[in-house]
Every structure is written in C-alpha cells, then in structure tokens.
Amino acid sequence: DSGVTQTPKHLITATGQRVTLRCSPRSGDLSVYWYQQSLDQGLQFLIQYYNGEERAKGNILERFSAQQFPDLHSELNLSSLELGDSALYFCASSVGPEPMRLFFGSGTQLSVL
Amino acid sequence: DQQVKQNSPSLSVQEGRISILNCDYTNSMFDYFLWYKKYPAEGPTFLISISSIKDKNEDGRFTVFLNKSAKHLSLHIVPSQPGDSAVYFCASRSYNTDKLIFGTGTRLQVFP
C-alpha cells in the first residue's frame, strides 16, 4: 500500500459528460501529480501541484483542470469527454516539490462510451 | 516527441537467469533516472534510481547502469524470479523543466 488513495477505482460515462477524479496523497506529502496512461502508452504527465499551487504542467488538455485543496487532496476535472479520454488516470505524491521518488495510487479507470 | 524510449514492449526470461531491460533517452538535460514496476490493477511502485553523476547503482538483485554518452539506461535483475513478472517503466527527470518523464514500459515475464 503506497498510502496514496484514489477514488473512484472505475468510472463509466458518456461522451460530452464531466467527471471528477479524487486523490489523497500520502500523509506528509505536499506534492501531487496526475498522470494518464492510455492503451500501449506510457505514463503521460498531466500536471503537478505543490502545497496548493500549480508547479508544473505537462500535456494537459484545456478540457481538463485540476486543483489541490488546503488539506492537500487533489481533484482532476475532465469535461466534454471524448472517446479518446478513456484511460487509466494515476495520482502520485512526493514529499517535496521536485519529482524524485513518487508514490502512486492504484489509479482510476475511466471508460467513455 | 518521446524523450524516453523503451523499444522492447515485452521480454520473456527463464527463472534464475538474468533479465535485462533497456531504456534510451534523448534529452541531455536529464539528471536523475528511476525504474518503476507495475503489477496489474496496481499503481507503479519505485524500484531503483540513479543520479547522472553515477554509472551504476545496486540494490539486492537489481542493478541499474547508466551510459551517459550513449544516453542509455538498463536494469539488470539477477536472478530473475516469477514474482518479477510485471511491467517495468523507466523514468527520467529533466533538471531544467523538473518533470518526470516515463517510457512506454516493458512487460517482463519470468517463467519456471
């Protein structure tokens, strides 16, 4: 158990809809990262928050947004969903701002039908 | 633009033999490298790392080698065990962008 909690584990929705993925980092970790894993793809970095502030941005679509709350949990919002957004979304956390050793949650499997 | 490449999508090795997983990178700004292991229905877990100032790091059965001139990273598992069967991701951090970039993974199967 990595200590990183992601909910829900599975999500099935329709095109055009909006969903929210939630992540609770390990106790004491201030950074939260979001990654997307599509079929046959590696882990694509989306965004990082450190202590409530956006710190680094990757290949995150404009339809996607995220935030980190004062209690350090994070939410990833995906809107106007398309079939191609179907993927496994991972959250990870680390103690400091630098992405050295990350601890990953077990992921949220999103299926857009 | 795939900055971290794992060109072998799969590898099959007999139990007790050596497993060698390879990773190539293109960005000379990468200064820290990691290997993660992923089992089905679980998130990736950290395995071993190496800084760019070293060329080898060892932890039990796992050894990571870094060849900076070739921009090549490899993970050796000796001896391989059936429990090592998983997908292995290499990852590299760029010191100028401070992002951790992952490869596409190599599925290792260790058979008896």
How many interchain CB pairs under 8 A, A with B? 60
> What CA–CA distance (Å, rounded) separates B58 from B52?
15
What are the pLDDT digits (tens) for A54-108?
Answer: 999 998 999 999 999 999 999 999 999 999 999 999 999 999 888 889 999 999 9
Inter-CA distances, B22 with A25, A85, B16, Å: 31, 29, 19
A25-64 residues touching B, CB cutoff 8 A: 33, 35, 40-45, 48, 55-56, 58
Lowest mean pLDDT among A18-32, A95-109, B54-68: A95-109
Q: Hey, of B48, B64, B100, which one would you mutate to test binding to chain A, going by the most A CBs within 10 A of its CB?
A: B100
Q: Amino acid identity, residue A19?
A: V
User: Nearest to residue A50, comparing CAs of A82, A94, A105?
Assistant: A94
Chain B residues whose CB is inside 8 A of the A21 CB are none
What are the pLDDT digits (tens) for A38-63?
Answer: 877 789 999 999 999 999 999 899 99
**pLDDT average, residue stretch A10-38:** 96
Chain B residues whose CB is inside 8 A of the A58 CB are 99
Contact A105, A6 (CB under 8 A): yes
Chain A residues whose CB is inside 8 A of the B102 CB are 35, 42-45
Of the two residues B16 and B3, the one the predictor is more confident about is B16
**Chain A contact for B107 (CB, 8 A cutoff):** no
| Nearest residue in B to A107, CA atom | B43
Q: Hey, of A102, A103, A106, which one would you mutate to test binding to chain B, going by the most B CBs within 10 A of its CB?
A: A102
User: Nearest to residue B59, comparing CAs of B37, B82, B30?
Assistant: B37
Contact B55, B1 (CB under 8 A): no
Q: How far is B69 from chain A (nearest CA, A)?
A: 23
Q: What is the 3-state secondary structure (H, E, C) of chain A?
A: CCCCEEECCEEEECCCCCEEEEEECCCCCCEEEEEEECCCCCEEEEEEEECCEEEEECCCCCCEEEEECCCCCEEEEECCCCHHHCEEEEEEEECCCCCCCCEECCCEEEEEC
Q: Look at residue A35 in the predicted model and tell me its pLDDT.
A: 96
Q: Torsions phi, psi of A78, nearest 5?
A: -120, 125
- Strands (DSSP E) along chain B, which ranges? 4-5, 10-14, 19-25, 30-38, 45-51, 56-59, 62-67, 72-77, 86-94, 100-102, 106-111
**pLDDT average, residue stretch B43-72:** 96
Contact B33, B48 (CB under 8 A): no
Chain A residues whose CB is inside 8 A of the B91 CB are 43
